């Protein structure tokens, strides 16, 4: 198990998802993000069954940075109860994982991954 996590957040549009991804990466709360979609969601919400298109943002961060990233996403999300989940990565390419750690530790001058 590593200290690098993948965080997922759903958004109602590509623009909203990209804005969340960009703001988190610019704040160095995530080393990188991918916007995926649209995806079709099937759900219960406020007692009603529904379906709808959403966009997913997959962010790479560390266990230490997660709480700040979660707060950042909640403060900037248009939904009052957004889907935000996180999974620790069991394994990964060592130089990539090191890049995530360096980037989210706010070190200046990172050369990329």
pLDDT digits 0-9 by tens, 31-59: 999 999 999 999 998 999 999 999 999 99
Peptide bond before 38: cis, by omega within 30 degrees of 0? yes
Question: Are 9 and 70 spatial neighbours (Cβ–Cβ below 8 Å)?
Answer: no
**Domain 4-104 belongs in CATH node 3.30.70.120:** yes
Give the separation between CA 17 and CA 34, rounded to whole angstroms: 9
Comparing CA positions, the residue from 43, 45, 40, 37 lying closest to residue 20 is 37
Q: With the CA atoms of 113, 87, 56 and 25 taken in that order, what torsion angle do they form, in degrees rounded to the nearest 10?
A: -40
| 46-92 pLDDT tens trace | 999 999 999 999 999 999 999 999 999 999 999 999 999 999 999 99
Radius of gyration from C-alpha coordinates of the chain? 15
Task: Give residue limits of the domains in the chain.
Answer: 4-104
């Amino acid at each position: 198990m590593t200290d690098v996590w993948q965080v997922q957040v759903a958004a109602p549009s590509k623009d909203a998802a990209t804005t969340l991804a960009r703001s988190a990466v610019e704040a160095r709360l995530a080393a990188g993000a991918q916007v995926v979609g649209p995806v079709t969601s099937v759900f219960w919400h406020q007692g009603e069954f529904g379906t709808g298109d959403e966009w997913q943002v997959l962010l790479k961060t560390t266990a230490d940075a997660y709480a700040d990233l979660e707060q950042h996403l909640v403060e900037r999300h248009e939904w009052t109860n957004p889907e935000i989940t996180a999974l620790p990565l069991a394994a990964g390419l060592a130089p990539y994982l090191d890049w995530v750690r360096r980037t989210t530790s706010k070190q200046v001058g990172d050369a990329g991954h």
